[in-house]
Amino acid sequence: MLKFNSRYFALALLILVVEILIAIYVHDSFIRPYIGDLLVVIFIYCFLKSFVSLSTSNAALYVLLFSYFVEALQYFRIVQHLGFQRNNLARIIIGTSFDWKDILMYTIGIVTVVIIESVFSSENNM
């Protein structure tokens, strides 16, 4: 079950760098809130697949459920309840505001992953 995959790890690192660059340099109303959310689930998926040998569908489902769970925690204002409202790292990682558009972007991100994985797996089977 545990197996290191350097390709997924390299992709995760690349996406992490892109996410950090977006967070630092992009202050708009589209890329940062929407593309950032789309990329975060792809990052989590790649990071998970870097260390755990799971099928595409299982990994995608776990990442999507985890993302929905974190968004639900935002709805219940978990950062405030835990007393982390002044902790910037907690506010960035967990988030502070629920938004249905985030759920949509997480879903689109995971659908993108599944499509890309199916294209690459069908090319490898040819």
- What's residue 55's pLDDT? 96
For the chain, what are the domain ranges? 6-124
Residue 29 has pLDDT above 80, yes or no: yes
- The Cα–Cα gap between 126 and 124 comes to 6
**pLDDT in the model for residue 84:** 87
Q: What is the pLDDT of residue 12?
A: 98
Contact 78, 55 (CB under 8 A): no
Q: What's the CA gap between 23 and 42, in Å, rounded?
A: 16
pTM for the model: 0.90
pLDDT (mean) for 34-47? 96
**Whether residue 121 has pLDDT greater than 80:** yes
